[in-house]
């Protein structure tokens, strides 16, 4: 067989174009998008197989028909993209619309129209391609978060099912409308996330308040980015919307459940204190509050006052360690004119100012022995004598004292009067330190975020998992006060929606040298350890949150996948009704 020498020009066959109608139809039919061509009267002159599948009208029937008779879309008429390119002399116009297919079902399509010219450059019609977006819409509709896209004019071009549920506005009613008309958020007129994303080229995240079509308010976490076409040109924006309202409502419910007056706790020891507070508060008995510095003794004093019959009277506080002895006596008992050099007038003491109310003596262990005698008389006889006074004054007050010291040990050492100790020690409330109530840390963190977001205009939603783990392991010698101080600094430094280790004080990021983690802290931090939380802990949390695994994961400071892995390891599951149960024989695998 002889080989043809392709290097010789006379051996190269000349290309002959099969310019036939069948040849062009074959090319068009091999395109996945529906393609039609129309003349200047909008009469169909070319029509491929994909268009036939989309419309249900055959090529033979379609040729010679008007375009709007085949494809009925909201754009037919004045909004026709082909007419728009003729009118505005544009090369390409892109629109996303809904049309009816041959079976009457609604089909989302992307229409792209271009002008059609003859060899002389005279406009003879237009060509438009139509891409079915049903599969893309199915994917978008499966997303749990609301999602919508806009064009350069901020008109909505896509609107998923979750966005319909958030706003109460149907997809077909939202398309083509300005997004500000549909969403009505607090940032629509100023600080629009999509406009900011387009201006900066960065993804923008922001919490918004959305008003639905019924006037209801929803708290939304929005994330906006630029939308590009296949050539990399910016053609609009895309925004996702996550409804935070159920989470906020759940957090509020948890906060209300575990809040007693201004005290927040789910710890069993603290709940026992809460259980007796109303009875103690209703009495006029003297109360002694024990607790380390920063545990909230003053909050307990306020709660006792609010629960008492003296709630309409004053609550007067004196810190016994804040003033020297000479000033402390006059501060508590008052001074009469001429009592000493410089006493030019009568000055009432705190006791007199407290008539009909509650007198709170903080850090009573620092009270000098000489003043302990006068205080004992006040407690026993309900009367006192001001400095320089000639007669005693009756005191209609209820006493609450607090100390971080061991007063019983001070009695043995002779630095605190035994009779005063017995007189104070009628009702004793022992407030546990934070290291013994680490199950309260997530609640306290949530409370701190709410407080400091309001104080500093922040929108911080949570702390990172490693931060929560560090909170669980840290001994907190300053107790709740130290935790709140750390959270305040981190809130000031944080510019996003989550506090990370970088925003925490340097000393806090370094564990105490030689420090050991108490047993109860180690038990509580199990939720963030490699081995995971104990099955009893997970079961208790699942029951508390009625099977809500997102809430349980947040409570443990881990993500949902980690919680699922722990549940499988321990053979735990959640029924369809939200009931936690032991799943016999389960050792792993995909979640049900």
Output the DSSP codes for 384-411.
Answer: E--BT-SS-EE---EEEEEESS-HHHHH
**Residue 64 neighbours by CB distance under 10 Å:** 10
Which residues does residue 131 pair with via DSSP β-bridges, in sequence order? 110
Which residues does residue 398 pair with via DSSP β-bridges, in sequence order? 358
Smallest Cα–Cα separation from 151: which of 103, 213, 194, 108? 194
Edge-first strand order for the sheet with 315-319 is 315-319, 358-362, 398-403, 287-290, 427-430
Query: Any long-range contacts for 452-458 (C-beta under 8 Å, 24+ apart)?
Result: 452/487, 452/488, 452/491, 452/492, 453/491, 456/491, 456/492, 458/491, 458/494
User: What's residue 428's pLDDT?
Assistant: 94
User: What's residue 543's pLDDT?
Assistant: 77
Q: What is the pTM of this model?
A: 0.57
Smallest Cα–Cα separation from 243: which of 208, 215, 214? 208
Which residues does residue 399 pair with via DSSP β-bridges, in sequence order? 359
H helical segments located in 110-178: 134-141, 161-167, 171-174
| HSE-up (13 A, CA, CB side) for residue 113 | 23
Smallest Cα–Cα separation from 38: which of 60, 58, 67, 62? 67
Q: What burial letters (b/e) apply to 373-401, b meaning 16+ CB within 10 Å?
A: eebbebbeeeebbbbeeeeebebebbbbb
Place of tokens 């607790």: 291
User: What's residue 188's pLDDT?
Assistant: 81
Residue 1's SS3 state is coil
Element (H, E) at 21: helix 21-29
**pLDDT one digit per residue (tens) for the chain, 592 residues:** 444 454 455 554 554 555 666 777 788 888 888 899 999 898 999 999 888 888 888 888 889 998 888 887 767 777 788 888 888 777 777 777 777 766 667 777 888 888 988 888 888 999 988 888 778 778 888 888 899 999 888 888 888 888 998 888 888 788 888 888 888 887 887 888 998 998 898 988 888 888 888 888 888 888 999 988 766 778 889 999 988 877 777 666 666 677 788 888 888 899 999 999 999 999 999 999 999 999 999 999 999 999 999 999 999 999 998 888 878 888 898 888 766 767 668 888 899 999 999 999 999 999 999 899 999 999 999 998 888 878 888 999 999 999 999 999 999 999 999 999 999 999 999 999 999 999 899 989 988 998 898 888 888 888 998 899 889 888 899 999 999 999 999 999 998 889 999 999 887 776 554 444 444 444 444 433 434 567 767 877 887 777 888 778 777 766 677 787 778 777 788 876 667 676 543 333 333 3
Q: What domains, with CATH codes, occur in the chain?
A: 21-132 (3.30.450.20), 136-243 (3.30.450.20), 270-339+346-431 (3.40.50.300), 438-582 (1.10.8.60)
User: What's residue 385's pLDDT?
Assistant: 86
CA distances from 151 to 7, 129, 148 (A): 53, 19, 11
Residue 295's SS3 state is coil
Cβ–Cβ under 8 Å, residues 382 and 269: no
User: What's residue 515's pLDDT?
Assistant: 42
User: What's residue 423's pLDDT?
Assistant: 93
User: What's residue 510's pLDDT?
Assistant: 65
Q: DSSP letter for 432, please.
A: P
User: What's residue 3's pLDDT?
Assistant: 45
Number of continuous H segments (helices) and E segments (strands) in the chain:
26, 23
Cβ–Cβ under 8 Å, residues 463 and 498: yes
Place of tokens 């896509």: 158
């Amino acid at each position: 067989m002889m080989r043809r020498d392709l290097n010789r020009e006379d051996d190269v066959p000349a290309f002959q174009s099969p310019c036939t109608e069948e040849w062009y139809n074959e090319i068009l039919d091999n395109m996945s998008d529906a393609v039609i061509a129309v003349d200047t009267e909008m009469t169909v002159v070319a029509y491929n197989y994909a268009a036939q599948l989309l419309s249900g009208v055959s090529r033979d029937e379609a040729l010679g028909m008007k375009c709007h008779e085949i494809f009925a879309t909201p754009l037919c008429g004045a909004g026709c993209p082909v007419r728009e390119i003729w009118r505005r002399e544009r090369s390409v116009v892109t629109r996303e619309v809904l049309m009816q297919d041959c079976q009457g079902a609604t089909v989302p399509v992307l229409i792209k129209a271009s002008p059609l010219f003859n060899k002389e450059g005279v406009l003879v019609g237009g060509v438009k391609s139509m891409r079915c977006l049903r599969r893309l819409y199915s994917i978008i509709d499966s997303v749990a978060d609301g999602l919508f896209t806009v064009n350069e004019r901020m008109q909505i071009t896509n609107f998923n099912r979750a966005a319909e549920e958030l706003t109460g506005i149907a997809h077909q009613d939202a398309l083509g409308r300005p997004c500000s008309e549909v969403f009505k958020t607090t940032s629509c007129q100023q600080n629009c996330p999509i406009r900011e994303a387009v201006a900066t080229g960065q993804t923008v995240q922001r919490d918004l308040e959305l008003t639905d079509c019924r006037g209801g308010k929803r708290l939304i976490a929005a994330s906006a980015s630029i939308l590009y076409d296949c050539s990399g040109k910016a053609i609009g924006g895309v925004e996702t919307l996550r409804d935070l309202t159920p989470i906020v409502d759940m957090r509020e419910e948890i906060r209300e459940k575990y809040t007693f007056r201004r005290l927040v706790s789910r710890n069993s020891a603290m709940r026992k204190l809460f259980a007796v507070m109303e009875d103690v508060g209703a009495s006029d008995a003297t109360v002694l509050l024990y607790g380390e510095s920063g545990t909230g003794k003053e909050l307990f004093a306020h709660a006792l006052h609010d629960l008492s019959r003296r709630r309409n009277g004053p609550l007067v506080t004196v810190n016994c360690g804040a003033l020297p002895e000479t000033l402390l006596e006059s501060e508590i008992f008052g001074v009469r004119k001429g009592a000493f050099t410089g006493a030019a007038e009568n000055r009432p003491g705190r006791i007199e100012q407290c008539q009909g109310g509650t007198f709170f003596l903080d850090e009573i262990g620092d009270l000098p022995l000489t003043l302990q005698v006068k205080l004992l008389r006040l407690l026993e006889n309900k009367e006192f004598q001001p400095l320089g006074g000639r007669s005693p004054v009756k005191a209609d007050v209820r006493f609450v004292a607090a100390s971080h010291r061991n007063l019983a040990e001070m009695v043995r050492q002779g630095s605190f009067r035994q009779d005063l100790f017995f007189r104070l020690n009628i009702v004793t409330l022992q407030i546990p330190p934070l290291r013994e109530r680490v199950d309260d840390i997530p609640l306290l963190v949530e409370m701190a975020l709410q407080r400091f977001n309001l104080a500093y205009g922040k929108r911080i939603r949570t702390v990172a998992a490693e931060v929560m783990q560090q909170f669980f392991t840290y001994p907190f010698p300053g107790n709740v006060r130290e935790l709140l101080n750390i959270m305040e600094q981190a809130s000031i430094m944080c510019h996003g929606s989550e506090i990370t280790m970088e925003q925490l004080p340097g000393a806090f990021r370094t564990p105490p040298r030689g420090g050991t983690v108490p047993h109860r802290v180690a038990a509580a931090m199990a939720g963030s350890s490699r081995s995971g939380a104990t099955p009893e802990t997970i079961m208790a949390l699942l029951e508390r949150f009625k099977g809500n695994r997102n809430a349980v994961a947040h409570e443990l400071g881990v993500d949902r996948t980690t919680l699922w892995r722990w549940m499988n390891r321990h053979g735990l599951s959640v029924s369809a009704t939200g009931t936690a149960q032991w799943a016999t024989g389960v050792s792993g695998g995909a979640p049900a």
